[in-house]
Amino acid sequence: MSNRLNVLLDKIKALEIELIAELQKQQREFSYEIIQRHVVFERNIKSKHKAYAKRLINYLFDAKLKHIISTPFIWMCIVPAVSMDITVSLYQAICFPLYNIPKVKRQDYIVFDRQYLDYLNIIEKFNCAYCSYINGLFGYLQEIGGRTEQFWCPIKHAKRINQLHSRYQKFIEYGDAKSYQVNHEAIRKDFKDL
């Protein structure tokens, strides 16, 4: 990989660290902390949040018809999502040890924490849990796919893709046949950064 690309990747990593620091500042601003994976608000903040919660009956009566009609279509995605979750988790559990690929931790991608927000009613919390699961699952699947691709086919695409997974920078340039033959085996084993 070129020095310019390494410089850009280092800048991205530095920005990610800066972003995490900013997010931690917001924790202080909104008076919560994370204790053993649980979000804990100060007591006075929790009571203020409860005052903002929309009563369930009002929430239901205020719902737009198009939202009510679309709800079953949104929720029907849960069946293939859970199926994909189980299938890919089994794949990873069986195959990754065979290939010496480090396993992806589900808990790093699928995060449920919005239930601690007392300004959400039960339906909003349930919907937030669904979104957390689905979007976290996509990240989890992408990381498993990225590690698999690094092992089996670590070649960059010729065509532009919108989002790169975390392993893509290790891949060989498209069309670089010599580098593929020379470096393929080393790249297959290059998970030191995990």
- Per residue in 51-110, pLDDT (tens digit) is 888 888 888 888 899 999 999 999 999 999 999 999 999 999 999 999 999 999 999 999
Q: What is the 3-state secondary structure (H, E, C) of the chain?
A: CCHHHHHHHHHHHHHHHHHHHHHHHHHHHCCEEEECCEEEECHHHHHHHHHHCCCHHHHHHHCCHHHHHHHHHHHCCHHHHHHHHHHHHHHHHHHHHHHCCCCCCHHHCCCCCHHHCCCCCHHHHHHHHHHHHHHHHHHHHHHHHHHHHHHHCCECCCCCCCCCCCCHHHCECCCCHHHHHHHHHHHHCCCCCC
Model confidence, pTM: 0.80
